[in-house]
Amino acid sequence: MQVRVPPTTDRKKLLDSARGLTSDGGPTVLMDGLLEIDERFMRKANDRKPVFVIVTGDGSEGSVRTDGAAFNTWLRTLAPRGVVAHAVVLKSGNGLPEVVANAMTQATNGHFETIGNAGLLQGKMEALAALLSNGRQQMK
């Protein structure tokens, strides 16, 4: 897991970082990454409502420290803490990262969507940003 930008409301910093994202060609370590983000940042966000925004592919899942049972146990802790997760999955087949993202959004009453065309990602992220900036948790 790599933190490209620490938690911030600086939209320019986030946008600049997002423009530089590239695929490294390896498997997604989504479960490990989500638990690490929660440990490092979300549990310490006492003055803010924690929200996960997951953008992932549907390829292979390469987490090594987190198994399905540990992830499911952690997943049950999110809703009681007021955590919400939203996800967009770039879909080309079927893979475990899609299952993980879907489980997280269902457990937290967030929004889950799959898209088959990466060109649609900007519009989906803009809609999600508008939802979050308006303080709503659900997309219509």
Cα 2 to Cα 23: distance, rounded to the nearest angstrom: 13
Q: Where are the domains of the chain?
A: 27-133
For 92, list phi and psi in degrees, rounded to 5: -130, -5
Q: What is the pLDDT of residue 110?
A: 94
Q: Does domain 27-133 have CATH number 3.40.50.410?
A: yes
Task: Check: CB of residue 115 under 8 Å from CB of residue 91.
Answer: yes
Report the percent of the chain where pLDDT is more than 70: 89
Map tokens 């440990």 to a residue. Answer: 39
Task: Check: CB of residue 108 under 8 Å from CB of residue 75.
Answer: no
Segment 61-107, tens digit of pLDDT: 888 888 889 999 999 999 999 999 999 998 877 888 999 999 999 99
Cα 46 to Cα 63: distance, rounded to the nearest angstrom: 28
Segment 127-134 shows an average pLDDT of 88
Nearest alpha-carbon partner for 87 in 60, 113, 121, 118: 113
- 80 vs 4: which has the higher pLDDT: 80
Strand order in the sheet with 112-115: 51-57, 84-90, 112-115
Paired strand residues for 115: 90
The answer on pLDDT for 140 being more than 50 is no
Point out the least confidently predicted range of 14-18, 94-98, 122-126.
Answer: 14-18
